[in-house]
Amino acid sequence: MNVICFGQQPNGFFPKRFLIAKINTARALQKESGGKIVFFYHDSDADYRETITIMRDIVSGTEARLNFTQENKVQKKFSPLYAKRVPAGWKEEILKQLPRFVSKEMADIFSSVNAKTAADFCLEMYQKMGLLEGIEVVRSSDVNFRQKASDLDKDYFADVQYEGEVVRAQLLNGKLVLHEGGGKYLDLSMPDKIEKSQKNAGKDQRFGWMNSVIGATHYVYGEGEKEYLKTLDFPEVKFIDREKIHDSGFAWLPNS
């Protein structure tokens, strides 16, 4: 059976248009060739910029960038998206702004979501918008997935505790570090053991790690993935370009 897969980090509380392009491409391939669709939801990523939601004012066309806020700097900078908590009052503040950008129907869907983390909030939004009907979701944070996946022995990331928060640290040259940006790293204490359930892959190993569980026969990939994904290492997989879509980095809304 064909297994048609696409992957993406949590992608804004209204999804970016290039995610919709991946979904559309996967559905078209399923209609043509059969099989199932799997969405690899990479919620282990720690980059808060992934969830920036770019929208346009309905009346003026002015661009605005909305995003989650975090409770503290450690969580914002280093916690994986599945552990970035949604602070009290954030949803209400966004709801005040949404009438400028979306229909009442879309604002009501947003209002109905009560997820407690950025990754959970985004996923529930996509599901309630009807975008993932019939699509299996596999999360990179899921302990069961990590236990089944191929072993990561070097140059991996690990979810560990730091200053009361779960953070995504990198094993680099035998040291566990947090990347502070600009070539600067903060050394963490190395635990006696890092469990498999804590480990997740960086971009260079992510596809093989993912596919050791999913077993994709077809993979719909985006423009960014082309820069690092070594497709020749996976001759058993057919790689498919996502469909072209305008304003790919903007939020997708019905009839947009």
What whole-number percentage of the chain has pLDDT above 70? 100
> Over the stretch 92-116, which tens digit does the pLDDT of each residue have?
999 999 999 999 999 999 999 999 9
Of 229, 184, 196, 168, nearest in space to 45 by CA: 168
For the record, the structure tokens of 147 come out as: 């236990």
Number of domains in the chain: 1
Distance in angstroms (rounded) separating the CA atoms of residues 123 and 190:
33
- How confident is the model at residue 173, as a pLDDT? 85
Residue with tokens 């604002």: 107
Structural domain contains residue 166: no
Helix residue ranges, H only, the chain: 17-33, 73-78, 90-97, 104-112, 118-128, 143-148, 203-214
- How confident is the model at residue 180, as a pLDDT? 87
What whole-number percentage of the chain has pLDDT above 90? 91
- How confident is the model at residue 140, as a pLDDT? 98
Structural domain contains residue 183: no
- How confident is the model at residue 188, as a pLDDT? 94
Name the packing angle between helices 104-112 and 118-128 (round to 10°). Answer: 130
DSSP string, 240-255: EEPPP-TTTTSBP-TT
Structural domain contains residue 253: no
Tell me the average pLDDT across 220-236. Answer: 93
pLDDT band at 142 (very low <50, low <70, confident <90, very high): very high
Q: Give the residues across from 171 on adjacent strands.
A: 176
Q: Give the residues across from 176 on adjacent strands.
A: 171
Q: What is the pTM of this model?
A: 0.96
Span of 82-91, 109-118, 171-180, 238-247 with lowest mean pLDDT? 171-180
Is the confidence at residue 182, as pLDDT, over 90?
Answer: no
Structural domain contains residue 162: no
Is the confidence at residue 13, as pLDDT, over 90?
Answer: yes
Tell me the average pLDDT across 168-186. Answer: 90
Is the confidence at residue 256, as pLDDT, over 80?
Answer: no
Distance in angstroms (rounded) separating the CA atoms of residues 81 and 61:
30
Number of H helices and E strands in the chain, helices first, is 7, 12
Structural domain contains residue 198: no
- How confident is the model at residue 174, as a pLDDT? 86
Structural domain contains residue 86: yes
Tell me how crowded residue 94 is: count the other CB atoms within 10 A of its CB.
19
State residue 85 phi and psi, 5-degree precision: -75, 145
Structural domain contains residue 248: no
Tell me the average pLDDT across 68-73. Answer: 95
Is the confidence at residue 214, as pLDDT, over 80?
Answer: yes
Structural domain contains residue 47: yes
